[in-house]
Amino acid sequence: MINYLIELAIVHVGLFFGYWLFLRKEQQYGRMRSYLIASTILAVAIPLLKLPKLFSFSQDPPVIMPLEAMSLDAVSIAPAAAESAWGYELVILTYITISSFFLLKFLSDIVYLVWLERKSRHEKVNGLTIRRIGNIKGSFTFFHWIFLSDRIDPQQHDYEVILKHEKAHASLGHTYDLIFFELFKACFWWLPTAWIVLKETKKIHEYQADAVAIKTCDVDTYSSVLINSTLKTNGLNLASSFHDGLILKRLKVMKQQPKNVSPWKLAALSLLCAALFTVLACSEEKSVDANVVEAVPEFEGGPEVFYNYIRQEIAYPLQARQAGVEGRVDVEFVVDKDGSISEAAAINGIGAGCDEEAVRVVKSVPRFRPASQNGKPVRVSMVVPVVFQLKAGETNPDKSAQGMVIIEKIQSKNNRIKVDARYANGEWIGTVYDEDLKGLPGANIVVPGTTGATTSAEDGTFKLKAEDAFGIVVTFVGYKAVAVVTSLIVPVKNSHEIMNHPKIRQHTGAGW
């Protein structure tokens, strides 16, 4: 959200700066008006567009070197220290409160204008329906509604002049602009250009209406009416009015001969738009983590429900208690693509019936939500440690020792991925295998520190373009990650350590 607001501000300020440099003193009001509207729409839209880079600058291809595979231990993720949520929530609440205030003011203006229309007295003048009302000053227009104060005498000469001006506002659709910019200001009130653009648009509206009115009216007469008018505006943000405060500037503009905008100015503005679009919309770099879409199996209701189920179903075998056997049994099992349990077996045990009992209960466990890799369900090997523990000095009526069963944290087996890969002609080519040396589809292959990422095909093969041959990291849910690097084997704890490992930095001259 914060990135969006920053990018929106950059685009809007940048495009308005272009307007201020190249268009502000022009008299092509239609183009000026269109530019302000279009630049505001672009400011809202460009940060939402995330397109691939248009350009990439590659270095000379590096020397191909022999490769070695390096295994990475499973990453252990600890919860980050909780940040103060109250401060963030207060900022959001303040933002929403201020925006709501401006939106309510916007709605209240509309309600007031509708109320004035209902209260007004309609008059027909030259085919126009004029709304006359007594408790306002001057005149203003809202969509096709033209409001005139009862104080404006139809017999006076300035009546026709004012009417032509307000009719121009209606025919040019100026109210649509004002509503659009008022809503933009309400949503992005903190942005200075949101206020400036609204003010500039109102000024352009008056220039446009003047230009239309003087086509059927003598300039001197029109100027005289404008100068002598002492009527004031009503303070309605959504209304366009003849009685505006820009009298001197409007008079000056009316005396000037309109000129076309210089082609070089239009070209400069086009280049500015293209540059902002390229930098902010066409430079999306997908993060490496975003391409690693992995979800481990989950038991319905959460881990505690799983542990409680085993505790309730398992029994400490009498044979083991009588023989004083205790210890830990690791039960390995597979969560299939449909979430069912299969291939349950004790990978190390203590005998005396404990292994069989632990396997029996694990086989009876209800379905899991299956693991997924890049949105597709996959099989994952899991291990659950079951600890059989006797209570010292406590016996049952049958003289057997009392015991208890402790279920430790379930975990993925984390078999090792096997990778056969090489770098040539600017890309990594290889195959990812599972523990049985079968092609592993859907594995994530990334170039750490860059945007390069892909997934292995159905047969485990992959191709990945990269600007250098230093290395890749391959991951798959339920397996230990593997890094393939050029001519260097360094033990590391996880894939993040690769980026800044001192030996790797020394070898390459920089971290990933």
At 218, the pLDDT band (50, 70, 90 cuts) reads confident
Strand arrangement of the beta sheet that strand 121-125 belongs to = 121-125, 128-133, 145-149, 139-142
Burial 205-241 (b: 16+ CB within 10 A, else e): bbbbbbbbbbeebeeeebbebbeebebebbebebbbb
The domain locations on the chain are 2-58+98-105+151-279, 294-412, 416-508
φ/ψ (deg, to 5) at 470: -65, -45
Candidates 37, 378, 369; CA nearest to 174 is 37
Using the predicted structure, report yes or no on whether residue 66 has a pLDDT greater than 50.
Answer: no
104-117 pLDDT, tens digit each: 999 999 999 999 99
- The encoded tokens of residue 42 equal 């672009």
In angstroms, rounded to a whole number, what is the distance separating the alpha carbons of residues 235 and 18? Answer: 30
77 pLDDT more than 50: no
Angle at 245 between CA 243 and CA 248, to 5 degrees: 110
Please give the pLDDT value at position 126.
78
Both structure tokens of 82: 């909780």
Is pLDDT of 61 > 50?
Answer: no
What's phi and psi for 147, nearest 5 deg? -100, 130
Q: Is this model's pTM higher than 0.95 or not?
A: no
Per-residue pLDDT tens for 124-157?
887 788 999 887 777 889 999 999 888 887 777 7
Pairing, β 139-142 against β 145-149: antiparallel
% of the chain beyond a pLDDT of 70? 72
- Structurally, what CATH architecture does the domain formed by 416-508 represent? Sandwich (2.60)
Closest CA to 420 of 446, 439, 444: 439
Instruction: Kindly give, in sequence order, each residue whose CB lies less than 8 Å from that of residue 265, ignoring residues fewer than 6 positions away.
Output: 22, 23, 26
pLDDT classification of 427: cutoffs 50, 70, 90: confident
Instruction: Out of 168-182, 310-324, 342-356, 469-483, pick the least confident.
Output: 469-483
Say if 294-412 and 416-508 have the same CATH topology: no
Looking at domain 294-412, its CATH architecture is 2-Layer Sandwich (3.30)
Mean pLDDT rounded to a whole number for the chain: 77
Cβ atoms of 47 and 3 closer than 8 Å: yes
Most confident of 69-83, 174-188, 230-244: 174-188
Q: Quick one: pLDDT at residue 433?
A: 86
